[in-house]
Amino acid sequence: MAMAALRREGRRLLLSPITPNPSSAARSAMSISPEQSAPIGLRSISTQVVRNRMKSVKNIQKITKAMKMVAASKLRAVQVRTENSRGLWQPFTALLGDTPSVDVKKNVIVTITSDKGLCGGINSTSVKVSKSLFKVTSGPEKETKYVILGEKGKVQLIRDSKGSIEMTVTELQKNPVNYTQISVLADDILKNVEFDALRIVFNKFHSVVAFIPTVSTVLSPEVVERESEAGGKLGDLDSYEIEGGETKSEVLQNLAEFQFSCVLYNAALENACSELGARMSAMDSSSRNAGEMLDRLTLSYNRTRQASITTELIEIISGASALTG
């Protein structure tokens, strides 16, 4: 390169010690720190820092793009299952009603969050909704407790609501969500936690970019009986004929347990869908930001490189002209 020849000329003219640098490494020689092998008096600006940053930003962009693809492919499968599971709880709501305004003494808030991060803001919104629900349902003679599914919710709620946590469940996402797992979990909750009403907080999946925090209310059998005496939607239960020699309270109990299990299953699936969708959009915006950062870094790298070339040229030429002129 003419540049390299000029530099060699300049070095000879300056009577500097012989540099071992081959000419092919002219560009990299510029970026090596001045102490290493540049001749005395020759300054070069280091572009190493910028180049390292560019490399790491490019890697991050690749990783986030890959994560987005993975989330998109998983989302397709889970979405089908979620839509199918919506049919599980709809008959229950038609029969027993979903009454979020029911006033009971013991509330248990079941918050569904994810174990893994990098999924945008869905876990924080779930926790915010749970906290405000806690405030709404607390009062004199009333008791509210949390049951937390997922690491992220646990971490956030530990900070200020340690005393009201009843149970935490983690490592749920090791296997894909299936009904057996959720029902075993529901069974555990039913056996260990006293409640009059269960409020399940999750993110309902509307579309790939829209996740709505939702609260589903499941009442315990005694409360259902009490409400049915009081009339209203539940009061119509008496007009149904019950077969099989079971009493109404037994049927109600079975139904209430099954309702809890179904609603929890649907909530877990919807939350999983929302998590994948949120991760997709978070990773997408992250790769876009990385791309923009890369553009800015490239510009600054080129500017630095050109500036250092210009500086070297000026020094060489002024040195040469000082000797000859």
Partner 1 sequence: MASAAAGAVAGAAAPFWRAAGMTYITYSNICASLLRSCLKEPYKADAASREKVHFAISKWAQGKPEKPVIRSDTPGE
Residue 246 in the binding site for partner 1 (CB under 8 A): yes
Residue 239 in the binding site for partner 1 (CB under 8 A): no
Q: Please choose, out of 36-44, 134-142, 168-176, 198-206, the segment that lies near partner 1 by the rule CB under 8 A.
A: 168-176
Q: How far is the CB of 262 from partner 1 (least distance, A)?
A: 10
Residue 101 in the binding site for partner 1 (CB under 8 A): no
Residues 192-221, mask of contacts with partner 1 (x by CB under 8 A): x-x-------------------------xx
**Segment (H or E) for 145:** strand 143-149
Q: Please choose, out of 52-60, 88-96, 240-248, 310-318, the segment that lies near partner 1 by the rule CB under 8 A.
A: 240-248
Whether 197 and 218 have beta carbons less than 8 Å apart is answered as yes
User: Is residue 305 packed enough to be buried (19+ CB in 10 Å), middle (13-18) or exposed (0-12)?
Assistant: middle
- Residue of the chain from 171, 239, 324, 325 that contacts partner 1 (CB under 8 A): 171
Residue 166 in the binding site for partner 1 (CB under 8 A): yes
Buried b (16+ CB within 10 A) or exposed e, 63-82: ebbebbeebbebbeebbebb
Sheet of 143-149, strands arranged across: 143-149, 106-112, 197-207, 210-219
User: Is residue 224 packed enough to be buried (19+ CB in 10 Å), middle (13-18) or exposed (0-12)?
Assistant: buried
CA 35 – CA 50 distance, rounded (Å): 19
- Residue of the chain from 50, 75, 185, 263 that contacts partner 1 (CB under 8 A): 185
Q: Please choose, out of 96-104, 162-170, 203-211, 282-290, the segment that lies near partner 1 by the rule CB under 8 A.
A: 162-170
Residues whose CB falls within 8 Å of the CB of residue 311, separated by 6 or more in sequence, listed in order: 43, 45
Interface residues with partner 1 (CB under 8 A) are 162-163, 165-172, 174-175, 178-181, 183-188, 190-192, 194, 220-222, 245-247, 249-250, 253-254, 257-258, 260-261
